[in-house]
Amino acid sequence: MPASKRPPKPRRPGRPPAGANLRGRLLDAAIARFAERGIAATTLRAIATAAGVTPALLHYYFNSKNSLVETMLGERIAPFVAISVAPLLTPLPSPRATLRKFLETHMRNLAGHPWMPRLMVREVLSEGGSLREHMQAQFSAVLSPKVFMLIVAAQQRDEIRTDLNPMLIGLSLISLAVFPFAAAPLWREVSKSMVRGAPDYEARIEHLQRMAAKSPAWERPEAEALIGHTLALFDSALEKPHAKSRR
């Protein structure tokens, strides 16, 4: 039999072949399933199936779900947190500018990791979430006090409104950063159904198309549109009454 037609020899037991980045692929598959179904509801077998490998191969790299979650925390979530909090660790001269930079950085970070908003909603914001305690200890321990101090400093320097509660401003900032990315898929479908249900559906579509041709805002990628919209809300909502917008 010609060498080219011979069946491949079965792989010997031991370490999987190098170069395929199987470990990273398995971690990606696990994160995607965790974000979609939740950590508690996701089995190792389901992760292996999603990654197109056998459960035995998954077990070679991660001998338990706890091991997989710990790896995700150390190799994916910790670097994510480091990027988001960086503006808070190297503040600008203006507290308001630092807050705005943090908001933009965090949103761009979320846009680059689309699994993170869904994972946060499931495992951090939801009651009983598997990652709530960890994120409170790691992320919030750095973020919350620094954001709060920046808000107070900005109010003391008369950079932002002083009639708002600093704690609630901080909550609003985090909500503005996370919620748009978490809710965008649902809102997109709701918006489509609303338009389709209108009697003048075709006319509305034509109108939107004409607007898209005239306005640069309609040509921006969705993530950029969300970020730009949120920053505009930040600029207007925290501006002192009857004052001109400034950044």
Query: How much of the chain is helix, strand and coil, in % rounded to 5?
Result: 70, 0, 30
Topology at the third CATH level for domain 76-183+210-247: Tetracycline Repressor; domain 2 (1.10.357)
Counted residue by residue, the chain has a size of 247
What confidence score (pLDDT) does residue 209 get?
A: 58
As averages over each run of 10 residues, the pLDDT of the chain (247 residues) reads 47 48 93 94 94 93 94 93 92 95 93 90 86 81 87 95 92 84 69 59 62 49 83 87 53
Q: How many CB atoms are closer than 10 A to CB 33? A: 20
Distance CA 19, CA 178 (A): 35
Distance CA 140, CA 124 (A): 11
Cα-to-chain-centroid distance, residue 94:
26
Distance CA 176, CA 50 (A): 32
Q: Model's pTM, two decimal places? A: 0.75
Q: How many CB atoms are closer than 10 A to CB 239? A: 17
What confidence score (pLDDT) does residue 101 get?
A: 96
What confidence score (pLDDT) does residue 189 get?
A: 62
Sign of CA dihedral 31, 37, 39, 42: negative
What confidence score (pLDDT) does residue 194 get?
A: 58
What confidence score (pLDDT) does residue 60 get?
A: 93
> Is the separation of the CB atoms in 151 and 99 below 8 Å?
yes
> Nearest to residue 113, comparing CAs of 87, 76, 78?
76
Distance CA 107, CA 83 (A): 11
If residue 206 lies in a helix (H) or strand (E), which one and from where to where? helix 201-214
Q: Domain extents for the chain?
A: 21-63, 76-183+210-247
Residue type, 155: Q
Phi (first) and psi of residue 216, to 5 degrees: -60, -25
Q: Per CATH, is 21-63 categorized as 1.10.10.60?
A: yes
> Is the separation of the CB atoms in 117 and 110 below 8 Å?
yes
